[in-house]
Amino acid sequence: MTTITLTYLEQTSPDDLRPAKEPREPVEVRRVDEVAPEFSRFLYTAVGGPWHWTGKLGWTWDRWTEWLSRPGAETWVAWTGGAPAGYVALHADGTEVEIENFGLLPAFIGRGIGGHLLTVGLRQAWRMPERLESLDKVTRVWLHTNTLDGPNALANYQARGLRPYKTEQEERADADGPPPGPWPGADQPAS
């Protein structure tokens, strides 16, 4: 068992957002309008494979569809050079919006895209009442990260104005050994 540290971060006002610089290359961030379990699973494994994202790997097509179809669920994808570079998954519940998943595909890390995508994701989280009739106001946007995530994740969150409000320890058996990568047997170059 590996002990990891989870850090929970939040913003309590849209004024807390500190935007990142624009990326050096053209990046377009678009909302996914169609429920597409195959695409969402691709993003989850391609982004999370290097960081031990394993919680949704065993989900069926029906479970993915259910998760993506929840009221208040949105996925925003960063595109550059015709390829998906990363994504942010949002979920509004009551007056709060959780950033459920966020990250970049490995080839796009270090290119200034992550801060930009997080900036857009946070702006969209605060603007969710404009898109959801059931949501009157957002009072908090939050997420959690852990010590298995990318080495720049926590710094990016804090640079965008998210503040830590809680930490806790967790034992993770799935964190023993190498991360699963984007699919079983994928051989990736060492980072």
| pLDDT, tens digit only, all 191 positions of the chain | 889 999 999 999 999 999 999 999 999 999 999 989 999 999 999 999 999 898 999 999 999 999 999 999 999 999 999 999 999 999 999 999 999 999 999 999 999 999 999 999 999 999 998 888 877 899 999 999 999 998 899 999 999 999 999 999 999 888 888 888 887 767 555 55
- Strands 140-146 and 83-93, sheet pairing: unpaired
Structural domain boundaries of the chain? Answer: 2-175
Phi–psi pair at 19, nearest 5 degrees: -60, 145
Report CA torsion sign: 92, 63, 31, 182: positive
Residues 14-23 as b/e (b if ≥16 CB within 10 A, e otherwise) read: eebbeebeeb
Residues 73-86 as b/e (b if ≥16 CB within 10 A, e otherwise) read: bbbbbbebeeebbb
DSSP state of 21: P
pLDDT score for 188: 56
Distance of CA 181 to the CA centre of its chain: 17
Q: Which homologous superfamily is 2-175 in?
A: Gcn5-related N-acetyltransferase (GNAT) (3.40.630.30)
Phi–psi pair at 132, nearest 5 degrees: -115, 115
* One-letter identity of residue 65: T
